[in-house]
Structure 1
Amino acid sequence: MIEAWSVADVRAAEHPLLAAGDPLMERASFALATIVARDVARRRSVVGPDGGRRDGRVTGARAVLLVGPGNNGGDTLFAGAHLVRRGMGVLAVLASEHVHGGGLAALRRAGGRVVELVPESGGEGGASRWGDPDPATVEDAVSRAVGADVVLDGLLGIGASGALRGPAAVLVRRLVEVLGARTDRDERGGDGSVRSRPWVVAVDVPSGIGVDDGTLPGTVLRADRTVTFGAAKPGLLVPPAAGAAGHGAVVEIGLALGADPAGPPGPAVRRLEARDVGRLWTVPGPEDQKYTRGVLGVVAGTPTFPGAAVLVTSAAVRTGPGMVRYQGPDDVARAVLAARPEVVPASGRVQAWALGSGVPAAAAGGAGHDEPDPGGQHARIRAALADAAGDPGGATSSGGPVPTVVDAGALSLLPDRCPPWFVLTPHAGELATLLQGRGEAVDRPGVEAEPLRWARRAHELTGATVLLKGSVTLVVGPARVYAQADAPAWLATAGAGDVLTGILGVVLAGHAARAVAEPGSVAELAAAAALVHGLAAERANPGGPISALDVAAAVPGVVCELVAAR
C-alpha cells in the first residue's frame, strides 16, 4: 500500500531528526541525484551487440536546475553537485533572491554553472547576493532547459502554498508553452538526429501544486518523475495534481511516520496495490455454498436502457459471487437472462445491493424525467434502500442492514442521511447535482478542480462512503481516503461505470458482515473494487480501445492473478 502523509505530519516527523542533527538534506540530495542519473542513463540507452538495449552513459549529459528558496532548492543544488561529479554538465537557474547558500557553494565547488534570472527588460539590476552569477532572461533559461537532457524542478517544496509567483511563475509558464508547442519535426536536429524533450524531475513535489489537497492553483510544470522525501504527499496521489506528478519515487530518509501511538492516526491518503487486494479477496472454501459466498441483488436498467442491467449483472457474475438476483421489468430481465443465464430473476435474500445503473434520476418532486416511474424501478430502489439501511418498515430481502452500491439514478432517491455501508458512485457531474440538492453551490468544473474537497463534503452531508469516479478514483469513508489510479484512459467509455457497480456489489456481498460492523472497512473494499476494475480494463486490450463488456470479461483473469499472488 502507498501511504501519503500530510505536510503537518511530515514536518512533525522531521523535527526531532533535525534537532538531533541528522543529515536529512544530504540523504535526500544523494538519493535524488542517483535516481536522476539512472533515469538519464535509461533515456540514453543504446543497442548492444546482441540487439538488446543497455543503459547509456551519463557523462556529457546536461541538467538544468530550476532553483527556488529554502530547503527544496538546497536539495536540488546539492543533487546538482553530485551530478557534476558523475560527469554531467549542470546549470542552476536561480529564480529567487533567497536560495540555499550551502547548496549553492557545493554546486560551484563541484564545477556547476549558475545563472540568475533577471527581468526581460534587461539590465544588471543591483549587485547579486550570489557572487555575481551570469544574468539570464526567462527566454535564455527556457532555451537552456529545453535543450537539456533533464530538468529538475526545485522551485517550491512542501512548505509553500498557492501558485508560483514572481520570476518563477513567469519561467514555468513560458517553459510549459514552449514544451507544449514542440512537434516531432522540432525535435529533429539539422543532422537528422532526434532531440528528445527533456526529462522533468520534480523535487519532492511539482512546484505549485496543492500539496495536501491535490489542487492546481496555477500553472505547473508537469513532471515525468517526482522524487519525494520521507513519504508520499497527498497531492501526488489526488487529482488533478496527481496528473502532474508522473512516475513516483519515495526516498527513505528516516522518518518514523505512523510509529508513534501518540502521533497522527494514519496517513491522509492511501492507495491499494495489487498484493493488498489479493490478501483482501474472499476465496471460497470446501464448506461454502452459493448462499454463503455472497448473494448480490441488482436493481438496474429500464426498458429504455436495458444494457446497463446486462453490464452490471455480467460484471457481477464474472467477479465470483454465490448468486446474482435481478429485479426489474420483464423485458429487461429477458435481456439479462439472454446474456447471463446464471442470473436469478426473482426476489429473495441478498447480502448486498447494487442499485440505479441505467435508471433515470427522479426529479425533486419524486417523478422521473420522462415517466412517473420507469418500469417501476424507482419503487424497487426505494424498497431496497430501506431494506439495506435496516429499516423495519422496508423490504425483508436481507434480514438486516447490508452494504449497498448506489449509482446513477439511485443517487436521486437517497434519504437525507445514509449509513456508511452505502457506497455512492457518482462521476463529477452527478456529485455536483447531489451536492446542489443539499445546498452546496458547486458545479461540475468546481468538483473537477477540487475533487477531494467535494467528495469529503458529500461524505459529511450524507454519511455514506463516496466513490468519485475519474481518471483517479477517490474513495472517502469514515476516517479513510483512498486514491486509485489503476485504469487506462481508454476506460472512459459508456458502460464502464455499470461494470464497476457489478464488481463492487460482489466485493461488498462477500464482506457484508464486516462492512456493517466495521464501517471504516467499506472504503477499503470500494478501493479494492476500483483497482480490479482498472486492471481488468488494462487486461482487456493493453494500450488500446476497450468496451465495457470487454472489461467485464477480463475480471476473472485479474481476480485469479491477484489471489494467486497473495
Structure 2
Amino acid sequence: MRTGFSVETVRAAERALMAELPEGALMQRAAAGLAAACAGLLGRVYGARVALLTGSGDNGGDALYAGARLARRGAGVTAVLLAPERTHPGGLAALRAAGGRAVPAAEGVRAVGRADLVVDGIVGIGGKGGLRPEALPLVRAAEGALVVAVDLPSGVDADTGEVRGDAVRADATVTFGAYKPGLLIDPARSYAGAPHLVDIGLRLPPVPDVEALQHADVARLLPRPAAESDKYRRGVVGVVAGSARYPGAAVMAVAGALAGGAGAVRYAGPAADAVIARFPETLVTAGRPAGAGRVQAWVVGPGLGDDPAAHRALEDVLASDVPVLADADALRLLSPEALCERRAETLLTPHAGEAAVLLGLSREDVESARLSAARALASRYGVTALLKGSTTLVAPASPASPVRVNPTGTGWLATAGSGDVLSGLAGSLLAAGLPALDAASVAAYLHGLAARRLGAAPLTAMGVAEELRGVWRDVSIG
C-alpha cells in the first residue's frame, strides 16, 4: 500500500525526529537521497551541468547540499538564488566548498538553459498558490533539461493536489519521509513526474490521509470461490440499466458485472433482449427490480433514462436491504432523503460533471479540487463516493478513514461506456462480499489495468470489459 500524509503530519514527525538527532542530520539524509536520485537520472555525473533553483528555507537547503554532493563527483553545479538574503547558509557554504557556484536569479537563465539537469528547490511543501513572477523565466528556461523537484513541484498544493497558478513540471520528484497527497492526486500528480520516496526515518501515524492500492493489496482483496461454492454463494449482482434509447448501457454494465467475481448476474429492465443476445448466461427479466429475484447487490443507473419506469426502478433498488451502486442517470434521480433511509451501504460513482451537480459546484471547481470534492460527496450523502477521473478517488463515508487513490488510470478510458463497465465490475465485487470502499477501489484498479493492457491507443468499453479476466488472472498470480 502506498500511503500519503498531510504536511502537518509530516512536519510533526520531522520535529520529533530532529529532537533525537544531531543538528542538520535530517537534512543530510534528505540531501543524500536527492543526490543519489539525481545521479541515477543523469547516468554520468562527471562533467554534467546541474542548475539548482534555490528558494529560501529547508527546501533550498536540501537542493544546495545535494548539489554539493554532485559537485564533489565532478558535476558543474550552479545555484540560482531566488532569495539571496534568505538562502540556507550551511547549504550554500557546502556547495561553494565543493566547487559549485551561486548566481542571483537575474543571472540564472543562461545557467538553467545550459543545464543537463535542473533541481527545483524553489518552494517547499508548505507553499501555497502558483509560482512567483521572478521564478517563471527560470522555470521556462529549464524546459529542455531533466527537471527534478525537491519534495514537491513548486506551485502545487501538497495536501490537496490543487494547482492554482503556474507550477514546475518535473520529470521526477524526490520526496522525503512520506508521499504527500498532492503527489498522488491530479492535477498536481501530472506535474510531479515519477515519484521517488527517500526514507529518512520518520515515525508516522498508522492511518494516512490517502492511500493507493498496489498489486499485492488487490490480490488479497479479490474474491475467490471455495470448494463448496455455488453461483448463489458467490453472490448475485442485479443490474438495472439501459432503456429503449440506450440498450448498450445495459450490455456494457452486464459485461463488467460478469467479469467481477459474483456467481451470477440478474438483469432487470427494458434491454433484456439485447443483454441475453450478447450474454446468454445472464438471468433476465423485463419487469421491475423488486420482482427479479434475490440479489446480494444492485447496480442502477447506466442509460436508465428519467421516465416514470426509471423512477420506479430506482425506488425498488433503494428500498432493498443490500448494497447499491448508483451511477449515471440514477445520480440525477436519487434524493438525499432516500439515501438517509438506507441501512445497507451505498456507493455513488459520478464523474466530475455529475459530482458538480450533486455538490452545487461548477465542474471546474470539482476538477481543480478533487480530494475535497470526493470527501464532500461522501460526507454530505453518507455514502462511499467514487469520483471518476484521471486519478479516480474513493472516499469512505467516515471522514476519519483515508481516501483511496487509484494509480492505474489512463486518459484512454475517457470513452463512451467505460463508466458502465466500471459500475458493473464494482457492483459484482459488492455482491461477492467486498465492502463498498474495497469494491470501488479494486474495480478502479482492475479497470485501469485493463485499459493499460490495451496500449496507448483508442479503445472501446467492451474491449476493456473483455480484458478484465486477463488482468484479474495476472493480479491473482503476480
TM-score range, shorter chain: over 0.9
- Aligned equivalents of 1:326, 1:280: Cα separation in 2: 26
Q: Which residue of 2 aligns with 1:425?
A: 349
Q: Which residue of 1 aligns with 2:288?
A: none
SS at match of 2:350: coil
- Aligned equivalents of 1:236, 1:142: Cα separation in 2: 27
1:282 and 2:223 correspond: yes
Equivalenced residue count is 462
Q: Which one-letter code corresponds to 1:381 in the other structure?
A: L
Q: Which residue of 1 aligns with 2:384?
A: 465
Cα distance change on mapping 1:37 and 1:351 into 2, 3 Å: same
1:104-253 alignment, distance < 5 Å: 104-118=92-106, 136=107, 141-165=108-132, 169-172=133-136, 174-175=137-138, 177=140, 197-253=144-200
Percent identity between the aligned chains? 47
Cα distance change on mapping 1:179 and 1:341 into 2, 3 Å: farther
- Aligned equivalents of 1:306, 1:145: Cα separation in 2: 57
Q: Which one-letter code corresponds to 2:167 in the other structure?
A: V
What's the CA shift for 1:176? 5.2
1:16-31 alignment, distance < 5 Å: 16-22=16-22, 23-31=25-33
- Aligned equivalents of 1:65, 1:276: Cα separation in 2: 38
What's the CA shift for 1:535? 0.2
Q: Which residue of 1 aligns with 2:250?
A: 309
TM-score normalised by structure 2 residue count:
0.94
Q: Which residue of 1 aligns with 2:325?
A: 405
What's the CA shift for 1:179? 6.4
1:34-113 alignment, distance < 5 Å: 34-41=36-43, 57-96=44-83, 97-113=85-101
What's the CA shift for 1:78? 0.2
SS at match of 2:283: coil
Q: Deviations for 1:316-339, whole angstroms, at most 9, x for unmatched residues?
A: 11223200000001xx11111111
1:445 and 2:364 correspond: yes
Q: Deviations for 1:239-295, whole angstroms, at most 9, x for unmatched residues?
A: 211111111111000001126xxxxxx101111111100011111011100001111
1:557 and 2:470 correspond: yes
SS at match of 1:523: helix
- Aligned equivalents of 1:143, 1:302: Cα separation in 2: 63
Cα pair 1:291 1:323 within 8 Å, conserved: yes
Q: Which residue of 2 aligns with 1:380?
A: 313
Question: Over aligned residue pairs, what C-alpha RMSD do you find?
Answer: 1.5
Query: Which residue of the other structure, out of 289, 292, 301, is the alignment partner of 1:356?
Result: 301
Q: Which one-letter code corresponds to 2:111 in the other structure?
A: R
Q: Which one-letter code corresponds to 1:170 in the other structure?
A: E
1:526 and 2:450 correspond: no
What's the CA shift for 1:15? 1.2
Q: Which one-letter code corresponds to 2:60 in the other structure?
A: G
Q: Which residue of 2 aligns with 1:4?
A: 4
What's the CA shift for 1:552? 0.2
Q: Deviations for 1:328-377, whole angstroms, at most 9, x for unmatched residues?
A: 01xx11111111111110311101111101123xxxxxxx3xxx43xx23
Q: Which portions of structure 1, spanning 4 or more consecutive aligned residues, are displaced by more than 6 angstroms?
A: none
Q: Which one-letter code corresponds to 2:299 in the other structure?
A: A
SS at match of 2:372: helix
- Aligned equivalents of 1:16, 1:480: Cα separation in 2: 23
Cα pair 2:223 2:261 within 8 Å, conserved: no
SS at match of 1:8: helix
Q: Deviations for 1:444-467, whole angstroms, at most 9, x for unmatched residues?
A: 111111111122111121111111
Q: Which one-letter code corresponds to 1:482 in the other structure?
A: R
Cα pair 1:295 1:323 within 8 Å, conserved: yes
Q: Deviations for 1:396-446, whole angstroms, at most 9, x for unmatched residues?
A: xxxxx222211001012323153572111111111111122xxxxx21111
Cα pair 1:405 1:424 within 8 Å, conserved: yes
Q: Which one-letter code corresponds to 1:31 in the other structure?
A: G
Query: Which residue of the other structure, out of 454, 457, 460, is the alignment partner of 1:547?
Result: 460
Q: Which one-letter code corresponds to 1:379 in the other structure?
A: R
1:343 and 2:282 correspond: yes
SS at match of 1:152: strand
- Aligned equivalents of 1:455, 1:549: Cα separation in 2: 27
SS at match of 1:308: helix
Question: Which is greater in Rg?
Answer: 1
Query: Which residue of the other structure, out of 240, 243, 267, is the alignment partner of 1:326?
Result: 267
What's the CA shift for 1:146? 3.0
1:442-521 alignment, distance < 5 Å: 442-477=361-396, 478=398, 479-511=401-433, 515=435
Cα pair 2:296 2:323 within 8 Å, conserved: yes
- Aligned equivalents of 2:155, 2:199: Cα separation in 1: 23
- Aligned equivalents of 1:142, 1:404: Cα separation in 2: 57
TM-score normalised by structure 1 residue count:
0.79
Q: Which residue of 2 aligns with 1:398?
A: none
Q: Which residue of 1 aligns with 2:208?
A: 267
- Aligned equivalents of 1:24, 1:92: Cα separation in 2: 21
Gaps of at least 5 residues in structure 2 are: 286-291
- Aligned equivalents of 2:123, 2:388: Cα separation in 1: 30
Cα pair 2:154 2:168 within 8 Å, conserved: yes
Q: Which residue of 2 aligns with 1:124?
A: none
SS at match of 1:502: helix
Q: Which one-letter code corresponds to 1:547 in the other structure?
A: T
Q: Which one-letter code corresponds to 1:32 in the other structure?
A: L
SS at match of 2:458: coil
Cα distance change on mapping 1:527 and 1:58 into 2, 3 Å: same
Cα pair 1:299 1:377 within 8 Å, conserved: no
- Aligned equivalents of 2:239, 2:420: Cα separation in 1: 11
- Aligned equivalents of 1:446, 1:142: Cα separation in 2: 35
- Aligned equivalents of 1:146, 1:491: Cα separation in 2: 37
- Aligned equivalents of 1:146, 1:278: Cα separation in 2: 46
Q: Deviations for 1:37-60, whole angstroms, at most 9, x for unmatched residues?
A: 00111xxxxxxxxxxxxxxx3211
SS at match of 2:353: helix
Q: Deviations for 1:492-521, whole angstroms, at most 9, x for unmatched residues?
A: 111110110011011111115xx3xxxxxx
- Aligned equivalents of 2:140, 2:73: Cα separation in 1: 31
SS at match of 1:319: coil
What's the CA shift for 1:175? 4.6
- Aligned equivalents of 1:171, 1:159: Cα separation in 2: 17
